[in-house]
Amino acid sequence: MVRDAAQHRAEDQRLREMIDARNELDTVAYQVERRLGELADAAPVNEKARAEMLVADARQAIKEEAPLARLRSLTSELQQLYHGLNAPAAGSPGQRGPAGGPQPGGGDDDVIDAEFTTD
């Protein structure tokens, strides 16, 4: 039994890599689809078309059980696209003030400095 496990170790590892790559690609494709839905018409037309094409390619690659290199390549492209879609646009509401700087009173300044004593 141990000998059989040792013989199939490489095959099991390759199968695991394929499964992980398909899962990662599916997750990134879903994230891009969701982000496009959130942006709606705010997304640039060329980026939206590219994203839709890559998501369709990703779904097809998963369905056809494409080679590992193809899965990783699509994952990388979708991740780059996703990060580009998440980049805050200059002057977007809630992100920037009138001059492009941070809005006064907003942001992540929720830190309160305090000292506690125990009696």
Instruction: Report pLDDT digits (tens) over 18-67.
Output: 999 999 999 999 999 999 999 888 888 888 899 999 999 999 999 999 99
Residues 30/35/38/40 CA torsion (nearest 10 deg): -100
SS3 74: helix
Q: What is the pTM of this model?
A: 0.67
Classify 63 as helix, strand or coil. Answer: helix
Q: What is the pLDDT of residues 3-23, one digit of tens each?
A: 887 888 889 999 999 999 999
pLDDT score for 113? 72
Total Cβ atoms within 10 A of residue 25? 25
| Residue 12 phi, psi (nearest 5) | -65, -40
Which pLDDT tens digit goes with each residue over 78-109?
999 999 888 765 444 444 444 444 444 555 56
Element (H, E) at 56: helix 45-64
CATH number assigned to the domain with residue range 9-86, chosen from the 4 options 3.50.50.60, 1.20.1270.10, 2.60.120.260, 1.20.1560.10: 1.20.1270.10
Torsions phi, psi of 38, nearest 5?
-70, -40
Q: What is the DSSP letter of 103?
A: P
CB 16 within 8 A of CB 40: no
Tell me what pLDDT residue 108 has: 54
Residue with more model confidence, 2 or 22: 22
The span from the CA of 27 to the CA of 21, in Å, is 10
